[in-house]
């Protein structure tokens, strides 16, 4: 949603640790004069409204259009929004990277996450799908150990297991309330976690515009290849809604970027869970979906797990920065 203290000898995660810490220290210096946590919190909450709106529109289209086609409409808008920035930076320079494979994997996992989630929305209430997707920190913890050589303490493992219990409460496998589409939402969270781990692995090595440009390009190309096989000619209304999905999703993610300029991640991250509130509200207003009590109980357990994980991350980063400063002096 992290690397352990750097050992005396370089490790596979060392390049990320160093670049990440440099970014943290630079961010603290930039914020020293104008830290505005309230502004950051409001931007995060606004971002969740846009993201929940995007999911609501996607669920509406999923009744008639394939997830691949909905994803393609979204990525067309994504490419159009990214194009001015890429052109301003010069296309060849914006796409230049020494980590092409990692960028492709990141783009592919983002596409996979989007397609799986939209497919899940066709069968699940928005609130349930959104709550289930909050399992991604669990996958990030496990994947970080495997691919980033991170160390996870007992308390973070307990928080991870608690989050898993929350997901089980929401999904309730083996009962009449279980729907197989819940596995799609979980798989979407796994793909999202993979993209986060790859993002952290290349953090500080490629400019943000390069990472965003590769994400847009990989998604657009992949979905352009797949779309003809499932294409259903959309109405102009559906095209407009598809464009709205792209605008809302891109706006939501951009607001998150802006928010983290005004406050620390540990202070802002908990407010991302307000997306479940908007998802519940929009699901009720548009589709008449009312989550049952167990969904709220599971959501509370998952959120508690995520909040504790964010707290532990804050403590870890607070200890890492001075340690790295001493080692470099």
Model pLDDT for residues 160-208, shown as the tens digit of each residue: 778 778 778 877 765 555 788 888 998 998 998 888 888 777 766 777 7
Q: How far apart, in whole angstroms, are the C-alpha atoms of residue 199 and residue 193?
A: 10
Task: Find the distance separating the first CA and the last CA of the chain, reported in whole Å.
Answer: 30
Q: Token match 């509406």: residue?
A: 60
pLDDT at 61: 95
Could you tell me which of 235, 216, 236 has the C-alpha nearest to residue 75?
216
Q: How large a percentage of the chain has pLDDT more than 90?
A: 27
Half-sphere exposure of 91 (CA within 13 A, CB side): 4
Could you tell me which of 77, 46, 74 has the C-alpha nearest to residue 61?
74
pLDDT at 320: 58
182 touches 135 (CB < 8 A): no
Q: Burial level of 326, CB count in 10 A (0-12/13-18/19+)?
A: exposed
Q: Burial level of 146, CB count in 10 A (0-12/13-18/19+)?
A: exposed
Enter the tokens of residue 178. 């279980």
92-115 pLDDT, tens digit per residue, is 777 888 888 988 999 999 999 999
Q: How far apart, in whole angstroms, are the C-alpha atoms of residue 281 and residue 277?
A: 6
Check pLDDT > 50 for residue 2: no
pTM for this predicted structure: 0.76
Quickly state the pLDDT bin for 1 (edges 50, 70, 90): very low
**More confident site: 17 or 260:** 260
């Amino acid at each position: 949603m992290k690397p352990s203290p750097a050992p005396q000898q370089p490790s596979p995660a060392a390049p990320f640790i160093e670049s990440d810490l440099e970014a943290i220290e630079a961010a603290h210096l930039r914020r020293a004069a104008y830290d505005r946590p309230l502004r950051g919190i409001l931007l995060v909450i606004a971002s969740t409204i846009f993201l929940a709106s995007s999911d609501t529109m996607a669920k509406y289209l999923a009744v008639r259009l394939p997830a691949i086609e909905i994803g393609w409409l979204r990525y067309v808008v994504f490419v159009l929004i990214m194009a001015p920035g890429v052109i301003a930076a010069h296309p060849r320079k914006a796409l230049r990277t020494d980590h092409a494979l990692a960028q492709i994997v990141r783009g592919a996992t983002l596409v996979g996450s989007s397609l799986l989630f939209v497919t899940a929305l066709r069968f699940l209430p928005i609130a349930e799908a959104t709550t289930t997707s909050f399992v991604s920190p669990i996958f990030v913890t496990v994947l970080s150990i495997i691919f980033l050589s991170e160390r996870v303490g007992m308390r973070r493992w307990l928080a991870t297991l608690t989050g898993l219990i929350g997901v089980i409460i929401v999904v309730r496998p083996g009962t009449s309330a279980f729907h197989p589409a819940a596995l799609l939402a979980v798989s979407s969270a796994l793909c999202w976690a993979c993209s986060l781990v790859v993002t952290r692995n290349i953090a500080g090595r490629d400019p943000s515009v390069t990472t965003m440009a590769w994400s847009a390009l990989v998604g657009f190309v992949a979905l352009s290849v797949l779309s003809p096989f499932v294409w259903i000619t959309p109405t102009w209304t559906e095209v407009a809604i598809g464009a709205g999905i792209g605008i809302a999703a891109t706006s939501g993610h951009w607001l998150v970027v802006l928010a983290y300029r005004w406050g620390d991640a540990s202070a802002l991250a908990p407010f991302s869970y307000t997306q479940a509130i908007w998802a519940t509200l929009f699901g009720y207003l548009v589709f008449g979906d009312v989550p049952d009590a167990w969904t709220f109980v599971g959501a509370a357990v998952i959120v508690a797990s995520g909040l504790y994980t964010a707290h532990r991350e804050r403590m870890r980063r607070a200890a890492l920065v001075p340690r790295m400063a001493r080692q470099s002096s």
